[in-house]
Amino acid sequence: MDIKVLLDDPSAAIVKQWGGLDRCPCGNDIERLVEQLKILIPAIKAQKNAKQLCAKAFAPAKAQGADVAVLKREMQQISAALSTLEQQRKDAEQQLLELFTGAAAPAALLPKRFSAAAPEISIVGSIEIAAASAADAAYWDTYVEAHPRASFYHRYAWRTVITQAFGHESFYWLARDDSGAIRGVLPIVRLRSRLFGDFGVALPFFNYGGVLADNSAVALQLLEHAAQAARQRDMRHLEIRSTQPLGTWPARTDKVSMILKLPADSAQLDAQVGSKIRAQINRARQEHAEVLTGHLDLLNDFYEVFARNMRDLGTPVYAKRFFRIILEAWPTQSHIVVLRIDGRPVAAAFLLGDRELMEIPWASTLREVNALNMNMLLYWEVLNFCIARGYPFFDFGRSSRDSGTFRFKKQWGAEPLQHYWQYWLADGGALPELKPDSPKFKLLVACWRKLPLFVTKLIGPPIVQHLP
């Protein structure tokens, strides 16, 4: 199927492929992508024209002996915006083609928060952006709970969790109309350190939590307000984590979440995973591991496995207190699953459930039991735990496309959900690289792996709390 044909007459293409929109399993997704491309194509053209005009301005400026530093920064910003738009166009075209060839998961295979179209509600009058306080928490959550694209992490209580765990300053922005009704929200946490700089993230430590709004104009207004506030505070950049592109800020698109549509029962899961995974699970079962599910009672077990695994990976570990605060804040939505062999915890998972989706933000297995396939047994038990509690979807968490973790999750049948991490940059230029697996941290990672475990538990938390 030619992209140009789809853009010229998507309805005719749908009729030809499926016989009509009512028979198309992903018609709403196709229409959304077509509309997105119709916005992106002229935006790309406009950025290319701006780049040409900027390039033409260099020669006259140099001839006049003027400082071209401003032009260089403008060229960097235009180039970054153009690169983002072209990547968004590429992603949208790929998704559109996959829908027509059957290679992409239809909306029914994704939770509503990811498959629902972004709202475009008309608003009469002006919009005012203001900082939210604890007095606004109930109104904030009422708006979040009604928004079709809201995530668990948009809820106001996460502000308290992050403040208690790390002490970070945060800015929770509210957009209100003339009547005082909330029309959009944007939670941002500020991270400041000598090592990593001063920047804001919506939201750090988790995969979701960007802007929510009644329409794209309000969303852009919230983003611009946040950028202005960041500039006033001399912050270096903002990182907005989303599963939908918005505006022209530069974006990173190398990450995806892996989402699995869960079957109705364990028997169907057994049939679904295939013989290879079943064989690995059966190998792990030969060790007669004890399977435990719980809450605060299993925190010590979870943390011992998690801290040791993070040390072995060369990554600083969060403080145990962080997990305790989450468990206490969300007593019915947080869970821990642990595998023990001879009374010793060897594999553990930390789960967070919200509405139709259970997520596994953190999971670890001790290196010495990797050959026993304990990681496969852990995920098997976690998936059955989710099925037993009626969750229709499971989120394996974030991965880089085609990485080892991506392939591990893919073998369970999970489908990728594209992430768009968009950036406001105070001085233009390259996107930040604040990741533990960044090449510039390679030597530090190698040294970290050699430290005693108790040392990493002491010095890890003050470092990792500044990594988003």
State whether 357 and 446 are in the same domain: yes
Is 135 part of a structural domain of the chain? yes
By DSSP bridging, strand 237-242 and strand 197-202 are parallel
Residue 204 pLDDT grade (very low, low, confident, very high; cuts 50, 70, 90) = very high
Greater model confidence, 69 or 179: 179
Is residue 402 situated within a structural domain? no
* Average pLDDT for 397-403: 88
Q: At what angle do helices 453-464 and 299-313 cross, to 10 degrees?
A: 90
Domain CATH number, residue 274: 3.40.630.30
pLDDT above 70 coverage of the chain, percent: 89
The upper half-sphere exposure of residue 460, i.e. CA atoms within 13 Å in the direction of its Cβ, equals 29
Name, in order, each residue with C-beta under 8 angstroms of 251's C-beta and a sequence gap of 6 or more. 84, 87, 88, 245, 420, 421, 422, 423
**Is 257 among the domain residues?**
no
Confidence of residue 146 (pLDDT cuts 50, 70, 90): very high
- Among 93-102, 107-116, 295-304, 408-417, the least confident range: 93-102
- Statement: residue 103 has pLDDT above 50: no
More confident residue, 123 or 324: 324
Q: Please tell me the total count of domains within the chain.
A: 3
pTM (2 decimals)? 0.77
Residues 245, 273, single domain; the answer is no
| Average pLDDT of the residues in 312-326 | 93
Same domain, 31 and 123: no
Report the distance separating Cα 335 and Cα 323, nearest Å: 11
Contact indicator for 394, 358 with CB cutoff of 8 Å: yes
Range of the domain at 358: 263-391+433-464
Q: Is residue 405 part of a domain?
A: no
Selected residue with higher pLDDT from 399 and 15: 399
| Mean pLDDT of the 228-255 span | 89
Query: Based on the domain organization, do 299 and 440 belong to the same domain?
Result: yes
Residue 416 lies in a domain: no
Same domain, residue pair 125 and 29: no
Q: Is residue 412 part of a domain?
A: no
| pLDDT of 105 over the 60 cut | no
Domain termination residue (choose one: 55, 72, 104): 104
Instruction: For residue 96, tell me if it sits in a domain.
Output: yes
Q: What is the pLDDT of residues 434-461, one digit of tens each?
A: 665 556 667 777 787 888 888 888 888 7
pLDDT in tens, 15-51: 555 555 555 555 666 776 777 788 888 888 888 898 8
Q: Among 219, 252, 285, which residue terminates a domain? A: 252
Tell me whether residue 398 is in a domain: no
